[in-house]
Chains A and B, each alone.
Chain A
Amino acid sequence: DIQMTQSPASLSASLGETVTIQCQASEDIYSGLAWYQQKPGKSPQLLIYGASSLQDGVPSRFSGSGSGTQYSLKISSMQTEDEGVYFCQQGLKYPRTFGGGTKLELK
């Protein structure tokens, strides 16, 4: 199975601050990566797919980048509504696997 490792496990950011979350795959996943946001008591929401494509309706302050085994999610200007847990997911092979999550809080 492809292991997905996220870092950091948690972080806090001030309003307007730039936030970056990392995701490392145990093997090359050829940009087959998605990012999700999950708020307490809710289901995950797809933010980014194909490593860098923004899902419809997602604010443009979210962006994704990376290749090979290293990927990142950037929030260019932290907003209150961005609090939550962020997960990466590889879409290259079965079983589909997720990162352990990064909890983002407002400072």
Chain B
Amino acid sequence: ETGVTQTPRHLVMGMTNKKSLKCEQHLGHNAMYWYKQSAKKPLELMFVYNFKEQTENNSVPSRFSPECPNSSHLFLHLHTLQPEDSALYLCASGSSGRVNTQYFGPGTRLTVL
């Protein structure tokens, strides 16, 4: 068990829809992350939050909008996505320490039609 939960586990949406992915961590960590894993490609870091503040945005298109209301919750708001955005979206949490071991959720499998 990872202590990081993600909902929904699967999502199918049209290009004109608006949806949100939710991540919750119960590990007391102060850093949270969104990663994208496309088929046949390595994980790509999208966003980093430390103590609820966004500290990194890896040139992610504005159709992806993160939100971190508190240290335990992280959202990824999606709107007007493209079919190439279909991927596994993974949330992780970690402590902002020297080692920064990260704990991942199971991911949301997103399909954009």
Are A and B physically bound partners? Answer: no
- B residues at A contact (CB < 8 Å): none
